[in-house]
């Protein structure tokens, strides 16, 4: 791998196309984990530091790394996992940890890719409002819903990102 997403964002902005391609790579990886049988796997630590990038032709491609905090949903979860800046509100309570905590973290990551700022929970709405691409902004807002049940699934996110712009 050439670099992490965080390192790249510190050096240069990404075009909307680059954001969409990297986001789709991450979403497909999470969707795969969330559909794992017999029990879904929750990554629990999605962040720009845990997305590794390499070039395929002239495009950046992404891979999800750092599975150290990943858990099968049927296992007993531990509280307070993942980077605080990306953490879903319900992630502090082990019994509330579902695949939707990854969806929330993905929304924070997507916002970070669009605005090149580390996420700030105190300024989250303001940061999302700065996202220029209205489709990505709507997707981010959906992922950041406070109620986990109203967030999209990773499968729905993949479908949304695969749609031609």
Catalytic residue numbers, as ranges = 45
The 8 Å CB, 24+ separation contacts for 126-129 are: none
Per residue, the 3-state secondary structure of 87-121, as one string, reads: CCHHHHCHHHCCCHHHHHHHHHHHHHHHHCCCCCH
Pair of tokens at residue 40: 């879904």
Separation CA 154–CA 31 (nearest Å): 5
Q: Is 22 helix (H, G, I), strand (E, B) or coil?
A: helix
Name the residue among 93, 69, 95 with its Cα closest to residue 79: 93
Separation CA 26–CA 143 (nearest Å): 14
């Amino acid at each position: 791998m050439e670099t992490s997403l965080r390192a790249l964002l510190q050096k240069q902005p990404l075009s909307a196309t680059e954001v969409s391609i990297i986001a789709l790579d991450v979403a497909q990886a999470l969707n795969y984990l969330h559909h794992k049988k017999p029990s879904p796997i929750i990554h629990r630590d999605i962040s720009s530091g845990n997305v590794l990038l390499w070039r395929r032709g002239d495009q950046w491609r992404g891979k999800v790394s750092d599975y150290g905090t990943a858990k099968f949903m049927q296992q007993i979860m531990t509280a307070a996992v993942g980077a605080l800046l990306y953490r879903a509100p319900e992630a502090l309570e082990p019994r509330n940890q579902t695949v939707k905590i990854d969806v929330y973290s993905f929304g924070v990551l997507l916002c970070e890719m669009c605005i090149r700022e580390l996420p700030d929970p105190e300024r989250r709405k303001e940061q999302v409002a700065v996202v220029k691409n209205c489709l990505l902004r709507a997707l981010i807002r959906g992922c950041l819903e406070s109620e986990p049940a109203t967030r999209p699934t990773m499968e729905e996110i993949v479908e949304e990102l695969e749609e031609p712009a």
